[in-house]
Structure 1
């Protein structure tokens, strides 16, 4: 089962620092606005790029509403990665999105 946390929990973790946040939305969605500190790794490219991720780290994964990030978490966990899905996605982010 995929672990998940709320957006308020993510906000606290980001303020504390030291987490790895992946945004799995497509590049145009990411460019139009993303959570600060998020790295764009589109779900459509993940099967080809996951090997670039460090398997010793835990990745917090976000999308627009939580569906694609749940898919990304399940895929990565099947390969031995540790992941946390962010409930509500960027739609639930309480602050301004970076451009």
Structure 2
């Protein structure tokens, strides 16, 4: 539904020092996320967008890619340079990229 208007990058193309914006809900974030990701739930993105840098590429991730596509579309229309991480945190976990949790349990994609 967003394929034509939303730039997409594969998980492996997200650089280790890239700005990774996770737009999942609090419980999903707590269960498992990338160690250096920044958490702003999609429902609060309009309110907190000013905290997202506009001077560098932003990589946006959610569980599988739908919410992050919405975020990328909104950010790009407002002047950011954002791309959707294909497959979301499910693809991130499957690719073996680092994850941490806030629960004390092994990180997982909720």
Count residues in correspondence: 94
Whose helix fraction is larger, Structure 1's or Structure 2's? 1
For residues 11 and 51 of structure 2, the distance between their equivalents in structure 1, rounded to whole angstroms, comes to 26
For residues 66 and 50 of structure 1, the distance between their equivalents in structure 2, rounded to whole angstroms, comes to 19
Gaps of 5+ in 2: 102-110
Q: Which residue of 1 aligns with 2:35?
A: 36
Q: Give RMSD over aligned pairs.
A: 1.2
Q: Which residue of 2 aligns with 1:8?
A: 12
Name segments (4+ residues, structure 1) moved above 6 Å. none
Normalising by structure 1, what TM-score?
0.87
Shift of 1:8: 2.1
SS in 1 for 2:84: strand
Larger-gyration structure (1/2): 2
Q: Which residue of 1 aligns with 2:100?
A: 98
Shift of 1:78: 1.1
Question: Counterparts of 1:41-60 in structure 2 under 5 Å?
Answer: 41-60=40-59
Gaps of 5+ in 1: none
Normalising by structure 2, what TM-score?
0.79
